[in-house]
Structure 1
Amino acid sequence: MSEKPADVVMATAWYPPYDLGGTEVYLEGLVQELSHKGLTCAVLVPRAPGAPDRYEHLGTTVWTYPVELPETRQPGSGTRRHGQFDRFQALLRQNPRAIYHQHSWTTGCGLDHLRAARAQGLRTVLTLHVAGAVCLRGTLLRFGETPCDGLVEETRCGACWAESRGAPRAAAWAVGRLPRALAARAWQGRTRLATALSARALALGKAQELDEAFELSDRLVAVCQWLADTLTRNGAPPDKLALSRHGLAASYLAEAGQAAARKRSEDTRLRLVYLGRWDRAKGIHVAVAALRSLPEKMPVELSIYAIGAAEDDGYEAEVRALAAGDSRIRFHPPRPHSEIAETLAAHDVLVVPSLWLETGPLVVLEAQAAGLYVLGSDLGGIAELVAGTKAGELLRPGSVPDWAKAIERLVARKSEGPLPKFQGLLRSQADVADDMIGLYRSLPPALAPESRLARITP
């Protein structure tokens, strides 16, 4: 892998510059801060289209490995070992004394990869970033409607998943109650019906997968409180579990502060902005529909800076069609992360109309640093970041009338003066790095005297 073995091997399903979402920004910043504090990091990531076997990114070596998906399903949990897995194992062997820190839960970086690290005797840390790590549906919304407690229970979870695949509610419950043996046999099938009938087996597999992940991990990290609570409900050992919230890079905090200071308020329009992915779960259509329901003469505009989703399901086209003919709604190309602070500071309000439980999103912190008011769904991590700040408002997820009324109130409020800004202290990535150094130092067995980590003070 490298001439000098790394202190920490970061494993992730995606990494810059080939992918750039909230988790990727978080991990990129964490790697940089750990490096500044004296730890050598290496990154392992499935090879993205066009990516080489290895590349340098901001001074860190990133090693890629091919992922060939298997043609047949395997019994047991929902994970499937991909082809050329030996390439991943070979990369691990180059760092026999490293701490293995995994940040994803996918076929390309999931349970099999954690197993491999443990089999090679590495100390292991698993950070969970999304609801999909515990939820088959991926949203942690029960039947897509109300927040779930996250406890994996095979009948309930099987029914919820079956409904998400198109089964009517009553039929979904029947599928969730199928005998285990029948559901397990259905999992081996390749038809649409067999897939639907396997719902209970999938839910049971998810529970077993979580149990094994907890067993294989020396430490577990949750990036928000609701996720920590969910892991606890599913049996995560309290002595392994740590809460470490997101932080912002020091460079971004400085840029955002400067951009906010330069901001001028001569524009009487209320300027709303969305930054994120083209994804139905992000609820962009809710904000668009809310704005469209308001009188055309109302001084408000919405700027949408969205990046492509992993799979194009037509959502972007639907949102554009919904906004057609309304000049107040503007679509822009995605901004590079180096321009996010300036982009945000040119607006008044960040809209985060998500329909699922976010663990952040990081853009809320970025907006708070840039002096924006936040309108967000009263769900998960959004609620944790906005509640009690006096610089934001939480709304019913998916309720177009509620979002329209909130926008109308803010239009009137801006006509009387600037909107409130976040006044609290924001965590930095240096704070996150200190959390991780403390956690790494607590790992069994005791660190060797020559380890750099033993000499670093968080």
Structure 2
Amino acid sequence: MRVALVTAGDYFSEYGGGQIYVRQLARALNGRGFDVHILGVAAGGRDEDRQSSPIDDAGVKVWNVSVNPIAGPSRSLALSRALQARLRDMISLIGPDVVHAHGWKAAIAFATRSLGMACFITAHHGGIVCPNGMLMNRDDRLCEVPTSPSACISCATHFVPGGPIWNRLLSAVADSGRIALAECFRNMRSVPYITPALKIPLTVADKIEEIAAISLPHCHVIAPSHAVERALLRNGLSRNQVVFLPHGSVEFGQLQSRPARLEGTLRLGYIGRIDRAKGLHVLMDALRLMPDPNAIVLHVFGTAATRREWRYLRDLEQRARDCQCAGMARWRTIGLQRRTSWSTCWCSPRFARRRLACRCPKPCSPERRS
């Protein structure tokens, strides 16, 4: 059986859990005798950039497609008819029996529909239905409402500079007027404090169209958590389209026994992008409410890329200073790996010294600092 896995960005990238997940899945399927093809779609380069033959990665065939975002439409690139046509051509060239999308989900949904093929999609996070890319609302609670301009604009403006003011201004304008205003600013040079807020109505409208794409009858969506599952169902997907399948985790109900009390130190690790959508601030607050927070050590390895992520990183630094939990009493920076120049780590001073002294595990040892 020939399987085509669609991923966003470079298949060989070490940045981002999605690429690593797809790479491990591809190698596992290849080891079980499947003919695995990767279709990596990345924004950047010229529209005509494409491979005439795949790259072989230990039996996995990797096809890379570059998309020029500047030459695309003013709306979401995933809704571009040109991109959908290119993906349709690439899928026809590969000739798979199964298409499994981990990125560019809306575009793949349209492309497979035109080919008369079933489309399987994995919703790795809440961004599949949320314009903010997360499952939580502005109050750090799980969102319980479907995506709509009335519900999402007030929440999205909360995370931009001057959010309360922009929320009142945008709420006073009709939906068609908000969209027209956002279209004017979509391709213009970014103006601080203005462009991020005015783009929000169009971002919400694009997300609603993307949800409609993955809701098409030929699509089947895998939800790795019950929260993602509920988000998909309340946004219009039918019950027989959504499958709950945890990613390498075991639910508490499946455990035969649970420890009555934590013995020793519980060490938690997070590796990934430093972004509010990941909910690290919620995790830190939750650990402070544990019965014995002094027995918990939290390590966070990652980096911030955008200005918004750097603001969030500074907020986490302040939370780490204010936190009374011994497991988050100090802020340290240590090298992670060659493709990630810096990582951030909350840890107790005692455990940090011991960890660095024994240089274990290797990914955070000082000699690998780039």
TM range (shorter): 0.5 to 0.7
Structure 2 Cα separation of the partners of residues 64 and 159 of structure 1: 38
Partner of 2:156: 161
Amino acid at match of 1:232: L
Q: Deviations for 1:175-231, whole angstroms, at most 9, x for unmatched residues?
A: 145312212211221265466345444423322321222116431211111111111
Partner of 2:140: 145
Cα–Cα, structure 1 residues 271 and 82, in superposed 2: closer, same or farther, change >3 Å?
Answer: farther
Q: Does 1:240 align with 2:241?
A: yes
Partner of 1:65: 65
The 5-angstrom pairing of residues 15-164 of structure 1 reads 16-47=11-42, 53=51, 54-70=54-70, 73-75=73-75, 79-81=78-80, 88-104=87-103, 109-164=104-159
Structure 1 Cα separation of the partners of residues 225 and 122 of structure 2: 11
Contact 2:269 2:299 (C-alpha < 8 Å) held by counterparts: yes
C-alpha deviation, 1:234, in angstroms: 0.9
Partner of 1:184: 179
Structure 2 Cα separation of the partners of residues 291 and 228 of structure 1: 25
Partner of 1:8: 3
Contact 2:160 2:196 (C-alpha < 8 Å) held by counterparts: no
Cα–Cα, structure 1 residues 124 and 310, in superposed 2: closer, same or farther, change >3 Å?
Answer: farther
**TM-score, length basis structure 1:** 0.55
**Equivalent position to 1:332, from 331, 334, 337:** 334
SS in 2 for 1:137: coil
Partner of 1:314: 310
C-alpha deviation, 1:291, in angstroms: 11
**TM-score, length basis structure 2:** 0.66
Q: Deviations for 1:129-176, whole angstroms, at most 9, x for unmatched residues?
A: 111111111223222532211411221112212232234436415514
Structure 1 Cα separation of the partners of residues 42 and 206 of structure 2: 27
C-alpha deviation, 1:246, in angstroms: 0.9
Structure 1 Cα separation of the partners of residues 86 and 300 of structure 2: 37
Structure 2 Cα separation of the partners of residues 169 and 29 of structure 1: 43
Structure 2 Cα separation of the partners of residues 301 and 44 of structure 1: 41
Partner of 2:220: 219
SS in 1 for 2:239: coil
C-alpha deviation, 1:71, in angstroms: 5.1
Cα–Cα, structure 1 residues 170 and 42, in superposed 2: closer, same or farther, change >3 Å?
Answer: same
RMSD: 4.3
C-alpha deviation, 1:279, in angstroms: 1.0
Q: Deviations for 1:232-282, whole angstroms, at most 9, x for unmatched residues?
A: 11110222221111127xxxxxxxxxxxxxxxx9xx8x4745331241424
Partner of 1:420: none
Contact 2:37 2:94 (C-alpha < 8 Å) held by counterparts: no
Q: Deviations for 1:419-454, whole angstroms, at most 9, x for unmatched residues?
A: xxxxxxxxxxxxxxxxxxxxxxxxxxxxxxxxxxxx
Amino acid at match of 1:135: C
The higher-RCO structure (CA 8 Å, 6+ apart) is 1
Structure 2 Cα separation of the partners of residues 287 and 237 of structure 1: 31
Partner of 2:356: none
Structure 2 Cα separation of the partners of residues 59 and 236 of structure 1: 35
Cα–Cα, structure 1 residues 173 and 127, in superposed 2: closer, same or farther, change >3 Å?
Answer: farther
Q: Deviations for 1:302-334, whole angstroms, at most 9, x for unmatched residues?
A: 57451334536436974897579x995543333
Cα–Cα, structure 1 residues 45 and 144, in superposed 2: closer, same or farther, change >3 Å?
Answer: farther
Contact 1:158 1:202 (C-alpha < 8 Å) held by counterparts: no
Cα–Cα, structure 1 residues 161 and 30, in superposed 2: closer, same or farther, change >3 Å?
Answer: same
C-alpha deviation, 1:59, in angstroms: 2.8
Count of matched residue pairs = 303
**Equivalent position to 1:275, from 262, 270, 284:** 270
Greater displacement, 196-205 / 312-321: 312-321
SS in 2 for 1:247: coil
The 5-angstrom pairing of residues 365-376 of structure 1 reads none
Q: Deviations for 1:317-355, whole angstroms, at most 9, x for unmatched residues?
A: 74897579x99554333369xxxxxxxxxxxx9xxxxxx
Contact 2:140 2:282 (C-alpha < 8 Å) held by counterparts: no
SS in 2 for 1:215: coil
| Runs of 5+ consecutive residues of structure 1 not aligned to the other structure | 1-5, 249-264, 293-297, 337-348, 350-458
Structure 2 Cα separation of the partners of residues 145 and 299 of structure 1: 24
Structure 2 Cα separation of the partners of residues 237 and 286 of structure 1: 30
Structure 1 Cα separation of the partners of residues 267 and 337 of structure 2: 16
Partner of 2:355: none
Partner of 1:229: 230
SS in 2 for 1:219: strand
C-alpha deviation, 1:299, in angstroms: 8.2
Contact 2:41 2:66 (C-alpha < 8 Å) held by counterparts: yes
| Runs of 5+ consecutive residues of structure 2 not aligned to the other structure | 250-262, 322-327, 339-350, 352-370
